[in-house]
Amino acid sequence: MKCANEVLDKNLDYGYVEKFARETGDLASLSTVDRQVIAYGVNQARLKGDMDKLRKEPQPLSEFRPRGYKADFDRKDQEDGTWTDSDEEEEETPKQSSGDDWDVVP
C-alpha cells in the first residue's frame, strides 16, 4: 500500500515538471503522458536523493549558431561578397520549365 507522502510527492513532481516546462516554453509541446514520464524521473531522483542533479531553473535562451558558423560566413563572403548576417530571406531563383513536368533551377 502506498502512503500519502508518496502520492503527494508525485503531484509535487508533476507540478515541478509543469512549472519548468512553462518557463522554457515547452508546455504546449509536451503531452500529458510526456509530463508524467518526466515527473516519474523526477520522482525517482527524489527517492534516490539525487535532486541536486536536476536543474532548478531553465538555462537562459541564447541564439543557436552551429559549429563552424564563422568559417562558413567568411568563406561565403569571400566567394561572392553577398553574404549577410540578417533575418531577411533570400530572393528565390526563378524556375524554368523543361517541358517534361520537371522544374529546372538554373
Model pLDDT for residues 45-96, shown as the tens digit of each residue: 989 999 899 888 888 877 666 776 777 777 777 777 665 555 555 555 555 5
Given a cut of 90, is residue 18 above it in pLDDT? yes
Residue 30: predicted pLDDT: 94
DSSP string, 29-85: GS-HHHHHHHHHHHHHHHHHT-GGGS-SSPPPP-----TTHHHHHHHHHHHHS----
pLDDT of residue 4: 46
Confidence (pLDDT) at 79 = 75
Q: Report residue 20: phi and psi, to 5°.
A: -65, -45
Percent pLDDT > 70 in the chain is: 59
Overall size of the chain counted in residues? 106
